[in-house]
Structure 1
Protein backbone atom coordinates (compact mmCIF):
# COMPACT_ATOMS: atom_id res chain seq x y z
CA UNK A 1 0.00 0.00 0.00
CA UNK A 2 2.86 2.41 0.77
CA UNK A 3 4.54 1.23 -2.44
CA UNK A 4 1.40 2.03 -4.43
CA UNK A 5 1.23 5.48 -2.81
CA UNK A 6 4.61 6.30 -4.35
CA UNK A 7 5.99 9.62 -3.12
CA UNK A 8 2.69 10.65 -1.53
CA UNK A 9 3.01 10.83 2.25
CA UNK A 10 0.22 9.22 4.27
CA UNK A 11 -0.86 9.86 7.83
CA UNK A 12 -1.41 6.91 10.16
CA UNK A 13 -5.14 7.58 9.93
CA UNK A 14 -5.00 7.33 6.13
CA UNK A 15 -2.96 4.12 6.37
CA UNK A 16 -5.51 2.59 8.75
CA UNK A 17 -8.38 3.63 6.47
CA UNK A 18 -6.77 2.13 3.35
CA UNK A 19 -5.79 -1.10 5.09
CA UNK A 20 -9.28 -1.42 6.58
CA UNK A 21 -10.85 -0.99 3.15
CA UNK A 22 -8.60 -3.71 1.73
CA UNK A 23 -8.87 -6.25 4.56
CA UNK A 24 -12.18 -5.40 6.20
CA UNK A 25 -10.35 -5.29 9.54
CA UNK A 26 -9.56 -2.23 11.62
CA UNK A 27 -7.54 -3.60 14.55
CA UNK A 28 -4.36 -4.79 12.88
CA UNK A 29 -1.72 -3.32 15.25
CA UNK A 30 -0.39 -1.14 12.43
CA UNK A 31 2.18 0.64 14.62
CA UNK A 32 3.88 -2.65 15.41
CA UNK A 33 3.70 -3.74 11.78
CA UNK A 34 5.22 -0.45 10.66
CA UNK A 35 8.11 -0.90 13.08
CA UNK A 36 8.69 -4.40 11.71
CA UNK A 37 8.62 -3.03 8.16
CA UNK A 38 11.43 -0.63 9.07
CA UNK A 39 13.74 -3.57 9.70
CA UNK A 40 14.19 -3.91 5.93
CA UNK A 41 12.71 -0.73 4.42
CA UNK A 42 13.22 3.01 4.82
CA UNK A 43 9.91 4.39 6.09
CA UNK A 44 10.76 7.66 7.86
CA UNK A 45 8.23 9.46 10.02
CA UNK A 46 8.04 13.16 9.11
CA UNK A 47 6.36 15.71 11.34
CA UNK A 48 3.68 17.82 9.67
CA UNK A 49 5.02 21.42 9.86
CA UNK A 50 1.46 22.72 10.28
CA UNK A 51 0.41 20.22 12.96
CA UNK A 52 3.19 19.06 15.30
CA UNK A 53 1.17 16.10 16.59
CA UNK A 54 0.64 14.67 13.10
CA UNK A 55 3.15 12.54 11.22
CA UNK A 56 3.28 11.27 7.67
CA UNK A 57 4.95 8.21 6.16
CA UNK A 58 6.28 7.17 2.76
CA UNK A 59 8.28 4.20 1.49
CA UNK A 60 11.77 5.32 0.42
CA UNK A 61 13.15 1.92 -0.57
CA UNK A 62 15.32 -0.74 1.06
CA UNK A 63 17.56 -0.23 4.05
CA UNK A 64 21.19 -0.01 2.83
CA UNK A 65 22.10 -3.18 4.76
CA UNK A 66 18.75 -4.96 4.34
CA UNK A 67 20.43 -8.17 3.15
CA UNK A 68 22.37 -8.38 6.45
CA UNK A 69 19.36 -7.84 8.73
CA UNK A 70 17.18 -10.41 10.41
CA UNK A 71 13.49 -10.07 11.14
CA UNK A 72 12.48 -8.59 14.47
CA UNK A 73 11.77 -11.20 17.08
CA UNK A 74 8.48 -10.94 18.89
CA UNK A 75 8.72 -9.39 22.34
CA UNK A 76 7.77 -11.94 24.98
CA UNK A 77 4.31 -11.42 26.42
CA UNK A 78 5.77 -11.55 29.93
CA UNK A 79 8.22 -8.74 29.09
CA UNK A 80 5.43 -6.62 27.61
CA UNK A 81 3.33 -7.08 30.76
CA UNK A 82 6.32 -6.36 33.01
CA UNK A 83 7.12 -3.16 31.08
CA UNK A 84 3.58 -1.79 31.42
CA UNK A 85 3.49 -2.72 35.12
CA UNK A 86 6.92 -1.20 35.85
CA UNK A 87 5.88 2.15 34.38
CA UNK A 88 2.44 2.10 35.99
CA UNK A 89 0.72 1.94 32.59
CA UNK A 90 1.99 5.46 31.84
CA UNK A 91 3.81 6.86 28.84
CA UNK A 92 7.50 7.06 29.79
CA UNK A 93 7.80 10.42 28.00
CA UNK A 94 4.69 12.42 28.92
CA UNK A 95 3.18 10.41 31.79
CA UNK A 96 -0.28 10.12 30.23
CA UNK A 97 -2.34 6.95 30.71
CA UNK A 98 -5.00 5.16 28.65
CA UNK A 99 -7.46 5.37 31.55
CA UNK A 100 -7.15 9.08 32.34
CA UNK A 101 -6.02 10.55 29.03
CA UNK A 102 -7.41 8.09 26.48
CA UNK A 103 -4.04 7.53 24.80
CA UNK A 104 -2.87 4.26 23.31
CA UNK A 105 0.39 2.88 24.70
CA UNK A 106 2.86 0.91 22.58
CA UNK A 107 6.06 -0.86 23.56
CA UNK A 108 9.10 1.15 22.47
CA UNK A 109 12.76 0.13 22.33
CA UNK A 110 14.80 2.70 24.27
CA UNK A 111 17.69 1.87 21.95
CA UNK A 112 16.15 1.04 18.55
CA UNK A 113 16.90 -2.43 17.23
CA UNK A 114 18.51 -0.93 14.12
CA UNK A 115 20.93 0.95 16.40
CA UNK A 116 21.96 -2.07 18.42
CA UNK A 117 19.07 -2.39 20.89
CA UNK A 118 17.54 -5.68 22.02
CA UNK A 119 14.15 -7.08 22.98
CA UNK A 120 15.27 -7.52 26.58
CA UNK A 121 13.05 -6.00 29.26
CA UNK A 122 15.58 -3.35 30.33
CA UNK A 123 15.48 -1.90 26.79
CA UNK A 124 11.68 -1.58 26.72
CA UNK A 125 9.40 1.26 27.75
CA UNK A 126 5.77 2.22 27.07
CA UNK A 127 5.17 5.30 24.93
CA UNK A 128 1.94 6.85 23.77
CA UNK A 129 1.52 6.78 20.00
CA UNK A 130 2.20 10.52 19.74
CA UNK A 131 5.55 10.33 21.57
CA UNK A 132 6.47 7.13 19.77
CA UNK A 133 5.94 8.79 16.39
CA UNK A 134 7.85 11.87 17.54
CA UNK A 135 10.81 9.70 18.52
CA UNK A 136 10.75 7.95 15.15
CA UNK A 137 10.67 11.32 13.38
CA UNK A 138 13.62 12.62 15.38
CA UNK A 139 15.76 9.58 14.59
CA UNK A 140 14.69 9.81 10.94
CA UNK A 141 15.89 13.43 10.86
CA UNK A 142 19.36 12.17 11.81
CA UNK A 143 19.68 9.09 9.62
CA UNK A 144 22.95 10.46 8.25
CA UNK A 145 24.35 10.23 11.79
CA UNK A 146 23.36 6.60 12.33
CA UNK A 147 26.88 5.43 13.13
CA UNK A 148 27.40 8.22 15.68
CA UNK A 149 24.13 7.28 17.35
CA UNK A 150 24.91 3.57 17.30
CA UNK A 151 28.30 4.14 18.96
CA UNK A 152 27.01 6.44 21.69
CA UNK A 153 23.79 4.62 22.58
CA UNK A 154 25.65 1.48 23.65
CA UNK A 155 27.75 3.20 26.34
CA UNK A 156 26.98 2.57 30.05
CA UNK A 157 26.73 6.16 31.42
CA UNK A 158 24.59 9.11 30.35
CA UNK A 159 27.58 11.47 30.34
CA UNK A 160 29.52 9.06 28.12
CA UNK A 161 26.60 8.69 25.72
CA UNK A 162 26.06 12.44 25.45
CA UNK A 163 29.76 13.26 25.20
CA UNK A 164 30.58 10.67 22.56
CA UNK A 165 27.59 11.76 20.48
CA UNK A 166 28.75 15.38 20.60
CA UNK A 167 32.26 14.29 19.58
CA UNK A 168 30.99 12.14 16.73
CA UNK A 169 28.92 15.02 15.33
CA UNK A 170 32.16 16.88 14.53
CA UNK A 171 31.14 20.36 15.61
CA UNK A 172 27.60 20.17 14.26
CA UNK A 173 24.69 21.50 16.31
CA UNK A 174 22.83 18.74 18.14
CA UNK A 175 19.19 19.38 19.16
CA UNK A 176 18.35 19.08 22.84
CA UNK A 177 15.68 16.49 21.97
CA UNK A 178 18.29 14.17 20.47
CA UNK A 179 20.57 14.66 23.49
CA UNK A 180 17.69 13.59 25.75
CA UNK A 181 17.02 10.46 23.68
CA UNK A 182 20.68 9.45 23.78
CA UNK A 183 20.91 10.17 27.51
CA UNK A 184 18.20 7.52 28.10
CA UNK A 185 17.55 8.76 31.62
CA UNK A 186 14.40 7.89 33.51
CA UNK A 187 12.21 10.56 35.10
CA UNK A 188 13.02 13.10 32.41
CA UNK A 189 16.75 13.52 33.01
CA UNK A 190 17.92 17.09 32.46
CA UNK A 191 20.26 17.51 29.45
CA UNK A 192 21.03 21.07 30.59
CA UNK A 193 22.42 19.74 33.88
CA UNK A 194 24.49 17.14 32.06
CA UNK A 195 26.02 19.88 29.90
CA UNK A 196 26.98 21.85 33.02
CA UNK A 197 28.62 18.73 34.45
CA UNK A 198 30.55 18.06 31.24
CA UNK A 199 31.72 21.69 31.26
CA UNK A 200 32.92 21.15 34.84
CA UNK A 201 35.14 18.38 33.43
CA UNK A 202 36.74 20.89 31.07
CA UNK A 203 34.57 20.43 28.00
CA UNK A 204 33.77 23.50 25.87
CA UNK A 205 30.11 23.27 24.83
CA UNK A 206 28.10 26.07 23.26
CA UNK A 207 24.36 26.44 23.66
CA UNK A 208 22.14 28.23 21.15
CA UNK A 209 18.41 28.76 20.69
CA UNK A 210 16.39 29.63 17.63
CA UNK A 211 12.78 29.80 16.64
CA UNK A 212 11.38 27.17 14.31
CA UNK A 213 7.71 27.65 13.62
CA UNK A 214 6.10 28.53 16.93
CA UNK A 215 8.72 26.87 19.11
CA UNK A 216 12.13 27.88 20.39
CA UNK A 217 14.54 24.97 20.05
CA UNK A 218 17.82 24.47 21.94
CA UNK A 219 21.00 23.13 20.36
CA UNK A 220 24.45 22.15 21.67
CA UNK A 221 27.76 22.22 19.84
CA UNK A 222 31.05 20.81 21.10
CA UNK A 223 34.14 22.98 20.55
CA UNK A 224 36.68 20.95 22.55
CA UNK A 225 36.83 18.16 25.10
CA UNK A 226 39.07 16.50 27.67
CA UNK A 227 39.85 12.77 28.06
CA UNK A 228 37.41 10.85 30.24
CA UNK A 229 38.65 10.74 33.86
CA UNK A 230 39.68 7.45 35.50
CA UNK A 231 36.65 5.62 36.85
CA UNK A 232 34.33 7.43 34.45
CA UNK A 233 32.65 10.84 34.40
CA UNK A 234 29.86 10.00 36.84
CA UNK A 235 32.32 9.11 39.61
CA UNK A 236 34.47 12.17 38.85
CA UNK A 237 31.46 14.50 39.02
CA UNK A 238 30.37 12.90 42.31
CA UNK A 239 33.85 13.55 43.75
CA UNK A 240 33.72 17.17 42.58
CA UNK A 241 30.28 17.63 44.12
CA UNK A 242 31.45 16.12 47.42
CA UNK A 243 34.48 18.43 47.49
CA UNK A 244 32.26 21.42 46.76
CA UNK A 245 29.95 20.56 49.67
CA UNK A 246 32.91 20.06 51.99
CA UNK A 247 34.28 23.47 51.02
CA UNK A 248 30.92 25.07 51.77
CA UNK A 249 30.84 23.44 55.21
CA UNK A 250 34.33 24.67 55.98
CA UNK A 251 33.33 28.19 54.99
CA UNK A 252 30.28 27.91 57.25
CA UNK A 253 32.38 26.52 60.10
CA UNK A 254 30.60 23.13 60.21
CA UNK A 255 33.09 20.69 58.67
CA UNK A 256 31.56 17.63 60.32
CA UNK A 257 27.92 18.26 59.53
CA UNK A 258 26.26 15.24 57.92
CA UNK A 259 25.31 15.47 54.26
CA UNK A 260 21.65 15.91 53.45
CA UNK A 261 20.13 13.31 51.22
CA UNK A 262 19.16 14.51 47.77
Structure 2
Protein backbone atom coordinates (compact mmCIF):
# COMPACT_ATOMS: atom_id res chain seq x y z
CA UNK A 1 0.00 0.00 0.00
CA UNK A 2 2.86 2.40 0.80
CA UNK A 3 5.68 2.23 -1.71
CA UNK A 4 8.15 4.94 -0.67
CA UNK A 5 10.42 5.10 2.37
CA UNK A 6 9.40 8.64 3.37
CA UNK A 7 5.70 7.73 3.68
CA UNK A 8 6.60 4.63 5.66
CA UNK A 9 8.66 6.86 7.97
CA UNK A 10 5.62 9.13 8.49
CA UNK A 11 3.57 6.07 9.40
CA UNK A 12 6.24 4.89 11.83
CA UNK A 13 6.27 8.27 13.63
CA UNK A 14 2.45 8.35 13.77
CA UNK A 15 2.39 4.79 15.12
CA UNK A 16 5.06 5.43 17.75
CA UNK A 17 3.34 8.61 18.99
CA UNK A 18 -0.30 7.50 18.78
CA UNK A 19 -0.69 7.86 22.58
CA UNK A 20 0.81 11.38 22.57
CA UNK A 21 0.07 12.84 19.10
CA UNK A 22 2.39 15.42 17.55
CA UNK A 23 1.88 18.61 15.57
CA UNK A 24 2.75 18.73 11.87
CA UNK A 25 6.01 20.51 12.67
CA UNK A 26 6.99 17.89 15.24
CA UNK A 27 6.16 15.06 12.83
CA UNK A 28 8.24 16.74 10.12
CA UNK A 29 11.20 17.06 12.47
CA UNK A 30 11.08 13.38 13.50
CA UNK A 31 10.63 12.10 9.95
CA UNK A 32 13.53 14.26 8.78
CA UNK A 33 15.75 12.72 11.44
CA UNK A 34 14.75 9.23 10.27
CA UNK A 35 15.16 9.83 6.55
CA UNK A 36 17.84 12.51 6.49
CA UNK A 37 15.64 14.56 4.17
CA UNK A 38 14.10 17.97 4.84
CA UNK A 39 11.95 18.38 1.71
CA UNK A 40 9.39 15.73 2.66
CA UNK A 41 6.12 16.98 1.10
CA UNK A 42 4.62 15.85 4.40
CA UNK A 43 1.06 16.92 3.68
CA UNK A 44 0.95 14.80 0.50
CA UNK A 45 2.38 11.77 2.32
CA UNK A 46 -0.16 12.18 5.11
CA UNK A 47 -2.99 12.28 2.57
CA UNK A 48 -1.63 9.07 1.06
CA UNK A 49 -1.77 7.33 4.45
CA UNK A 50 -5.30 8.62 5.02
CA UNK A 51 -6.47 6.54 2.08
CA UNK A 52 -6.23 3.53 4.39
CA UNK A 53 -5.88 4.90 7.93
CA UNK A 54 -7.83 7.18 10.24
CA UNK A 55 -5.51 10.10 11.04
CA UNK A 56 -7.70 13.05 12.10
CA UNK A 57 -6.37 16.51 12.90
CA UNK A 58 -7.62 17.39 16.38
CA UNK A 59 -7.16 20.45 18.55
CA UNK A 60 -4.53 20.08 21.25
CA UNK A 61 -6.45 20.06 24.54
CA UNK A 62 -3.74 22.16 26.20
CA UNK A 63 -3.18 24.57 23.29
CA UNK A 64 -6.44 25.16 21.42
CA UNK A 65 -4.75 26.96 18.53
CA UNK A 66 -2.57 23.89 17.74
CA UNK A 67 -3.55 20.74 15.89
CA UNK A 68 -2.10 17.29 16.48
CA UNK A 69 -2.38 14.11 14.41
CA UNK A 70 -3.42 10.83 16.01
CA UNK A 71 -3.23 7.48 14.23
CA UNK A 72 -6.52 5.83 15.21
CA UNK A 73 -6.32 2.68 13.07
CA UNK A 74 -7.53 1.26 9.79
CA UNK A 75 -10.47 2.71 7.90
CA UNK A 76 -13.43 0.28 7.92
CA UNK A 77 -13.22 -0.22 4.14
CA UNK A 78 -9.42 -0.12 3.88
CA UNK A 79 -9.19 -3.54 2.21
CA UNK A 80 -11.38 -2.27 -0.67
CA UNK A 81 -9.45 0.95 -1.24
CA UNK A 82 -6.72 1.66 -3.74
CA UNK A 83 -3.97 4.22 -3.33
CA UNK A 84 -5.04 7.72 -4.27
CA UNK A 85 -3.59 9.18 -7.44
CA UNK A 86 -1.03 11.92 -7.13
CA UNK A 87 -2.16 15.39 -8.20
CA UNK A 88 -0.42 16.28 -11.45
CA UNK A 89 2.35 18.84 -11.14
CA UNK A 90 0.71 20.97 -13.84
CA UNK A 91 -2.56 21.05 -11.88
CA UNK A 92 -0.73 22.02 -8.70
CA UNK A 93 1.02 24.87 -10.52
CA UNK A 94 -2.25 25.98 -12.11
CA UNK A 95 -3.99 26.01 -8.72
CA UNK A 96 -1.34 28.22 -7.11
CA UNK A 97 -1.38 30.54 -10.14
CA UNK A 98 -5.20 30.79 -10.21
CA UNK A 99 -5.30 31.89 -6.57
CA UNK A 100 -2.33 34.25 -6.88
CA UNK A 101 -0.24 32.06 -4.58
CA UNK A 102 -2.59 33.00 -1.71
CA UNK A 103 -4.45 30.93 0.85
CA UNK A 104 -8.03 30.59 -0.43
CA UNK A 105 -9.35 30.98 3.14
CA UNK A 106 -7.35 33.81 4.73
CA UNK A 107 -5.54 35.37 1.78
CA UNK A 108 -2.07 35.12 3.31
CA UNK A 109 0.96 34.42 1.12
CA UNK A 110 4.32 32.71 1.66
CA UNK A 111 6.17 35.87 0.57
CA UNK A 112 4.38 38.40 2.78
CA UNK A 113 3.18 36.29 5.70
CA UNK A 114 5.71 33.43 5.76
CA UNK A 115 3.00 30.73 5.63
CA UNK A 116 3.32 27.41 3.86
CA UNK A 117 0.65 26.67 1.27
CA UNK A 118 -0.61 23.15 0.55
CA UNK A 119 -3.06 21.88 -2.05
CA UNK A 120 -6.49 21.17 -0.56
CA UNK A 121 -9.46 19.33 -2.03
CA UNK A 122 -12.51 21.58 -1.71
CA UNK A 123 -14.62 18.43 -1.53
CA UNK A 124 -12.49 15.76 0.21
CA UNK A 125 -11.79 12.62 -1.80
CA UNK A 126 -13.46 10.61 0.96
CA UNK A 127 -16.70 12.53 0.32
CA UNK A 128 -16.72 12.18 -3.44
CA UNK A 129 -14.22 14.85 -4.49
CA UNK A 130 -11.72 14.47 -7.31
CA UNK A 131 -8.23 15.60 -8.30
CA UNK A 132 -9.66 17.80 -11.06
CA UNK A 133 -8.45 21.43 -10.99
CA UNK A 134 -11.87 22.87 -10.13
CA UNK A 135 -11.80 20.87 -6.87
CA UNK A 136 -8.36 22.13 -5.84
CA UNK A 137 -7.38 25.21 -3.86
CA UNK A 138 -4.32 26.37 -1.92
CA UNK A 139 -4.67 26.64 1.87
CA UNK A 140 -2.12 27.68 4.46
CA UNK A 141 -1.26 24.88 6.87
CA UNK A 142 -3.24 26.53 9.67
CA UNK A 143 -6.48 26.71 7.65
CA UNK A 144 -5.88 23.26 6.20
CA UNK A 145 -5.53 21.80 9.70
CA UNK A 146 -8.65 23.65 10.85
CA UNK A 147 -10.64 22.23 7.92
CA UNK A 148 -9.43 18.70 8.65
CA UNK A 149 -10.39 19.11 12.31
CA UNK A 150 -13.83 20.37 11.30
CA UNK A 151 -14.51 17.28 9.20
CA UNK A 152 -13.08 15.05 11.93
CA UNK A 153 -15.48 16.61 14.44
CA UNK A 154 -18.35 15.55 12.18
CA UNK A 155 -17.12 12.11 11.16
CA UNK A 156 -20.47 10.63 12.19
CA UNK A 157 -22.17 12.86 9.60
CA UNK A 158 -19.91 11.73 6.75
CA UNK A 159 -22.74 10.14 4.75
CA UNK A 160 -24.96 13.22 5.13
CA UNK A 161 -22.05 15.40 3.99
CA UNK A 162 -21.38 13.12 1.02
CA UNK A 163 -25.03 13.31 -0.09
CA UNK A 164 -25.27 17.07 0.43
CA UNK A 165 -22.06 17.80 -1.46
CA UNK A 166 -23.33 15.90 -4.50
CA UNK A 167 -26.39 18.15 -4.98
CA UNK A 168 -26.42 20.72 -7.83
CA UNK A 169 -27.52 23.88 -5.95
CA UNK A 170 -26.07 25.65 -2.90
CA UNK A 171 -29.50 25.99 -1.26
CA UNK A 172 -30.13 22.27 -1.70
CA UNK A 173 -26.69 21.39 -0.33
CA UNK A 174 -27.11 23.59 2.74
CA UNK A 175 -30.76 22.66 3.29
CA UNK A 176 -30.27 18.91 3.05
CA UNK A 177 -27.31 19.06 5.45
CA UNK A 178 -29.39 21.03 7.95
CA UNK A 179 -32.25 18.54 7.59
CA UNK A 180 -29.95 15.57 8.19
CA UNK A 181 -28.63 17.32 11.33
CA UNK A 182 -31.96 18.83 12.46
CA UNK A 183 -31.85 19.95 16.07
CA UNK A 184 -28.02 20.01 16.09
CA UNK A 185 -25.91 23.17 16.04
CA UNK A 186 -24.07 23.18 12.70
CA UNK A 187 -20.95 25.38 12.52
CA UNK A 188 -21.03 28.20 9.98
CA UNK A 189 -17.71 26.94 8.58
CA UNK A 190 -19.20 23.52 7.79
CA UNK A 191 -22.14 25.15 6.00
CA UNK A 192 -19.73 27.31 3.98
CA UNK A 193 -17.77 24.21 2.94
CA UNK A 194 -20.93 22.40 1.87
CA UNK A 195 -22.16 25.47 -0.03
CA UNK A 196 -19.10 25.15 -2.30
CA UNK A 197 -19.28 28.79 -3.34
CA UNK A 198 -16.25 30.88 -4.26
CA UNK A 199 -14.90 32.96 -1.38
CA UNK A 200 -17.04 30.75 0.88
CA UNK A 201 -20.22 32.52 -0.31
CA UNK A 202 -22.38 34.06 2.39
CA UNK A 203 -24.03 31.50 4.71
CA UNK A 204 -25.89 34.32 6.49
CA UNK A 205 -27.56 35.32 3.21
CA UNK A 206 -28.39 31.69 2.39
CA UNK A 207 -30.06 31.32 5.81
CA UNK A 208 -32.19 34.41 5.12
CA UNK A 209 -33.21 32.96 1.77
CA UNK A 210 -34.17 29.60 3.29
CA UNK A 211 -36.16 31.42 5.99
CA UNK A 212 -38.00 33.26 3.20
CA UNK A 213 -39.13 29.82 2.00
CA UNK A 214 -40.68 29.15 5.42
CA UNK A 215 -37.76 27.38 7.13
CA UNK A 216 -37.17 28.08 10.82
CA UNK A 217 -33.44 28.32 11.49
CA UNK A 218 -32.03 29.56 14.78
CA UNK A 219 -28.67 31.33 14.88
CA UNK A 220 -26.37 31.29 17.91
CA UNK A 221 -22.86 32.48 18.74
CA UNK A 222 -20.34 31.57 21.38
CA UNK A 223 -16.72 32.20 22.25
CA UNK A 224 -13.99 29.60 21.93
CA UNK A 225 -10.76 31.13 23.09
CA UNK A 226 -10.32 34.34 21.11
CA UNK A 227 -12.66 33.22 18.33
CA UNK A 228 -16.35 33.99 18.06
CA UNK A 229 -18.11 31.03 16.42
CA UNK A 230 -21.49 31.00 14.67
CA UNK A 231 -23.88 28.07 14.54
CA UNK A 232 -27.21 27.33 12.83
CA UNK A 233 -29.85 24.91 14.10
CA UNK A 234 -32.78 23.83 11.92
CA UNK A 235 -36.06 23.70 13.86
CA UNK A 236 -38.52 23.08 11.01
CA UNK A 237 -38.62 23.20 7.22
CA UNK A 238 -40.93 23.24 4.21
CA UNK A 239 -40.84 20.99 1.12
CA UNK A 240 -38.65 22.23 -1.71
CA UNK A 241 -40.62 24.33 -4.26
CA UNK A 242 -41.53 22.49 -7.51
CA UNK A 243 -39.16 24.62 -9.60
CA UNK A 244 -36.35 24.39 -7.08
CA UNK A 245 -35.26 26.81 -4.33
CA UNK A 246 -33.16 29.06 -6.57
CA UNK A 247 -36.10 29.91 -8.85
CA UNK A 248 -38.47 30.39 -5.90
CA UNK A 249 -36.04 32.73 -4.13
CA UNK A 250 -35.49 34.71 -7.34
CA UNK A 251 -39.27 35.09 -7.70
CA UNK A 252 -39.59 36.32 -4.10
CA UNK A 253 -36.74 38.79 -4.62
CA UNK A 254 -38.35 40.09 -7.81
CA UNK A 255 -41.65 40.58 -5.95
CA UNK A 256 -39.88 42.47 -3.13
CA UNK A 257 -38.10 44.77 -5.60
CA UNK A 258 -41.38 45.42 -7.42
CA UNK A 259 -43.09 46.26 -4.13
CA UNK A 260 -40.29 48.67 -3.20
CA UNK A 261 -40.58 50.40 -6.59
CA UNK A 262 -44.32 50.84 -6.15
CA UNK A 263 -43.76 52.17 -2.64
CA UNK A 264 -41.15 54.65 -3.89
CA UNK A 265 -43.44 55.78 -6.72
CA UNK A 266 -46.33 56.28 -4.32
CA UNK A 267 -44.11 58.27 -1.94
CA UNK A 268 -42.82 60.45 -4.80
CA UNK A 269 -46.40 61.08 -6.01
CA UNK A 270 -47.49 62.03 -2.50
CA UNK A 271 -44.57 64.47 -2.14
CA UNK A 272 -45.45 66.08 -5.51
CA UNK A 273 -49.05 66.46 -4.39
CA UNK A 274 -48.00 68.44 -1.34
TM-score normalised according to structure 2 size: 0.88
1:193 aligns with 2:205: yes
Match for residue 80 of structure 1 among 92, 101, 122: 92
SS of the residue 2:218 aligns to: strand
Structure 2 residue ranges without an equivalent (≥5): 1-12, 267-274
Match for residue 209 of structure 1 among 204, 221, 224: 221
Q: RMSD of the TM alignment (CA)?
A: 1.5
Distance 2:243 2:115 in 1: 42
Q: CA deviation at 1:232?
A: 2.0
1:160 aligns with 2:172: yes
Match for residue 230 of structure 1 among 242, 248, 258: 242
Number of aligned residue pairs: give it. 254
Q: Is contact 1:46-1:137 (8 Å) kept?
A: yes
Return the structure number with greater helix share. Answer: 2
Q: CA deviation at 1:50?
A: 4.5
Structure 1 residue ranges without an equivalent (≥5): 255-262
1:253 aligns with 2:265: yes
Distance 2:243 2:138 in 1: 33
Q: CA deviation at 1:52?
A: 4.1
- Map Cα deviations across residues 182-234 of structure 1 (whole Å, 9 max, x no partner): 11211231111111110001111111222333433221111111111233212
Match for residue 163 of structure 2 among 134, 142, 151: 151
- Mean CA deviation greater in 36-45 or 48-57: 48-57
Would you identify which runs of 4 or more consecutive aligned residues in structure 1 move more than 6 Å? Answer: none
- Mean CA deviation greater in 108-117 or 66-75: 66-75
Distance 1:88 1:232 in 2: 35
SS of the residue 1:3 aligns to: helix
Aligned residue runs from structure 1 range 1-262, under 5 A: 1-253=13-265
TM-score normalised according to structure 1 size: 0.92
- Map Cα deviations across residues 86-108 of structure 1 (whole Å, 9 max, x no partner): 11111110011112212111111
